[in-house]
A and B are shown apart, each in its own frame.
Chain A
Amino acid sequence: MADLAERLGRLLGGRIAVTTGPRGADLTFALHRRDDLPAAAAELTGRAEMSLATVVATDELSSPDRDLKMRYVFEPADPVRKRPADRFVTLQVSVDPDRPEVPSISSLVPAANWHEREARDLLGIAPVGHPDPRSLVLHDGWPAGLHPLRKAFDGAQTVARVPAEEFPHLVVEGEGVFEIPVGPIHAGIIEPGHFRFSAVGDTVLNLDARLFYTHRGLEKRIEGMSVIDGFHVAERLCGVCSVAHGLGFCEAVEQIAGVTVAPRAQLVRTIALELERLYNHVGDIGNICAGASYHYGTSAGARLKEALQRLNERLSGNRFLRGWLIPGGVQRDIADDVIRVIETVLASTEAQLADLGHQIDSNPSVVDRFEGTGVLPRQAALHLATTGVTARASGIDRDARRDHPHGAFAAFPGIKLAVATAETADVNARRKVRAAEASESIRLVRVLLARLEPGALTVALPELPTPGKIGLAVTESPRGASIHWLRLDPRGRVERYHVRSASYANWPAVPIAALTAIVPDFPLVNKSFELCYACTDR
């Protein structure tokens, strides 16, 4: 990778400073001129074959630099071929607070689209030349020029609404074209999102999705909290990826603190991570059946998920596995007699899940709904830097458990993971990848349980960690890689915490996949992605 630094330096005429970090194997390039950003990003995503992982904007006006910063974090796009796979490359740009602008890279790196708009909304850093200048996170009625993630903004204040015009949705015009507005309030009890279809009859011409109705300002709320309090917020970013988010936060904290978690705690954490994936995937397969109105599959999925959630409650005291982890280790052990319960539930889940898969595959009316519906072309999945099941069903072989090892995958290199992919990129592909991953999770939990040795559950965290050090942790949630970026202040409290959830990366892919479907198939397409609104909106 030294040649990458050399190449970038040559390309930018030496206007670059190279450091290692945030982690040992990572590289950070501080660009001296912000106008060099598009060229550097093009080099990374082009010849260096990297993909945008996340963008973190920070307010560092009170630091010696007295600026705002944008950090564009890249990871290898093809971790199977490209070594080392577990290396992040950060492009860091300093933004003048008097002229808070950066050149937009969204035209070159489509995955940067939402990140840049979010930085503009929350920190007032304008992406110059962005192809879609509409607001993203802040909705109609929020006063212009008020940026909540600036340190000067008091999160406790109440902001008065200002009169606003209707949101400018992308509109298709022509004979017979009509608009179907759906949501944010839906007929069923689901999270809020607005979908604006432009359709002719039941054929979809365009879909404009608007999210961030559940933006709670959690990244603002967590600032100034102790790491223990912050952990509880991180766990609650969304309902169904508690372990993945909690583990991401814990590993970021532990990285900064420089502590190594005890082996038993690593195993228990990873068992929690896999059990979370299992109950999600099993429930999601049932939900996909609901999208096709296949009642048997819906009920079977709900039944299997219920058994797993009861197991969750037995293990952690919470059906969503909250409160099991803690920075430094785990709060609860797995007792030996409970291992037998886990094994029983896993065995029955395995058998019934295989049966459900067989029922679906042997029912032509169901397969007909799944096949060829909601195709997400591989190229689009790559361009949007999608992750998780979404990416793997489009033939992209990436899994953070293998590519950015965490938990027991890092502590026990002997534990190998079989990554499932599919090529057809339709609803059926996403269903099959989920089923394969659920089986793999069952296998992994058995392997992890077999490795359990008596030992400590927690390690003490140092009182005051190194100030300014950044923690960067990636965990594979049921929906894909969630990337946690954390920095603590000198008092050991959270200074800035940013999460790029898997759903955040995958949402822009849904309207693309919807274009190949008809209007009544959209719920099925949407359920096959099964993305989360809460951890996208935060």
Chain B
Amino acid sequence: MEAFEHIAIALAQMILIAACSPLVTGVIQKLKARLQCRSGASVVQPYHDLMKLLRKGTVQSDTASGMFRVLPALVLAATLVAATLVPAVWVPEDRAAAQLPLGDAIVLTGLLALARFLTAIGALDAGGAFGGMGASREMTVGVLVEPVLMLVVFSVALAGGTTDLGRLATHRLAVPSFHAPDLLALLAMLVLLLAETGRIPVDNPDTHLELTMLHEGMLLEHSGPGLACMVLAGHLKQLVMISLVAAIFLPIGLATQLAPYAIALALAAFAAKVLVLSVFLALVESSYAKLRFFRLPQFLGVGFVTGFLALSLRIL
């Protein structure tokens, strides 16, 4: 496999994820609305919102430094790069042939942490009370969820003998395994998914109550195209996390060749997997209240313990 071709496919997957990510948010919002007996906005509403923000001007806090304007682009860039690493549709057939480290799980974790760090820096830079509060809470959550992601990645990596997500997916495709460590890792990943997508019971993406905000609090000072970047990065991160769960635990349907029928099948499988996980998110969001902030460590602790058990069982 040509390195060039591999890069082109990774970029194509990134574009696919980026283009679809607002739609996924729209679908989740629609599902939530229907579950709550509301008609809800159209599934393409997030695209309209992004277009609206891109047309608007930017208002910046007096206390913000010049960095504040650049940060949204950096956050979006870090998340976009993270999107290239997840095998959404296609994985190289020949493991040995894929020499490029396009898809390393540790790089992915690092990029997501980088985006989180940059978002928090931006929130602090603007000098608003809610930004600082949101940043402090987001970093508290970050400290609790990042180890979970590492534990899950290591537990599956031990079985696959690699931390490359593409190769992990092909390995799991070839050797499907649903033993205790896999199920525990999946459970940890679902806890992680709720936390990383900023959804109930961890955060409430729909709230207008400033004092309760985590992720939204950090976006309050952004406006116009900058806010569009942050919002798009949020959509992207959500789909990246969903794709990650799908790639590790449901690799069925991934294309290994570039034949049109295989790609079409893989796209359909990807859509189906994303829809399943979207339904999961919408169901959880409509069935539970947001956790009291000081209870979050207990909830995320469930993720940590199951992730840790998954890894321990794998080693033993």
Contact = CB atoms under 8 A, between A and B. Distances in A.
B36 A519 contact: no
Interface string A329-369: 00000000000000000000000000000000001011011
Contacts of B285: 295
Contact of A522 (B130, B211, B289): B211
B295 to A, nearest CB: 7
A298 B212 CA distance: 16
B209 interface: yes
A518 interface: yes
Contacts of B210: 182, 186-187
B4 interface: no
B289 A201 contact: no
Contact of A303 (B37, B133, B200, B294): B37
B201 interface: yes
Given A182-B211, A293-B207, A187 B292 contact: no
Nearest to B285: A295
Contacts of B37: 299-300, 303
A520 B289 contact: no
Given A201-B136, A295-B200, A520 B36 contact: no
B100 interface: no
B302 interface: no
A520 B293 contact: yes
Contact of A181 (B129, B209, B291): B129
B208 interface: yes
Given A180-B129, A296-B36, A521 B208 contact: no
A178 B131 CA distance: 14
B149 to A, nearest CB: 24
Contact of A519 (B133, B204, B288, B289): B133
B283 to A, nearest CB: 11
Interface string B137-149: 1000000000000
A292 interface: yes
A239 interface: no
Interface in A223-266: none
B208 A289 contact: no
A518 B36 CA distance: 28
A291 interface: yes
A522 B133 CA distance: 14
B36 A299 contact: yes
B32 interface: yes
Contacts of A299: 36-38
Contacts of B35: 296
B286 interface: yes
Interface string A277-306: 000000000000101111110111001000
A188 B129 contact: no
B292 A294 contact: no
A523 interface: yes
A293 B286 contact: no
A188 B209 contact: yes
Nearest to A517: B292
Given A180-B211, A182-B210, A293-B289, 20 more contacts: A179-B129, A181-B129, A186-B210, A187-B208, A187-B209, A188-B208, A202-B137, A294-B288, A294-B289, A295-B200, A296-B286, A299-B36, A300-B37, A365-B288, A368-B289, A518-B294, A519-B133, A519-B211, A521-B292, A523-B209
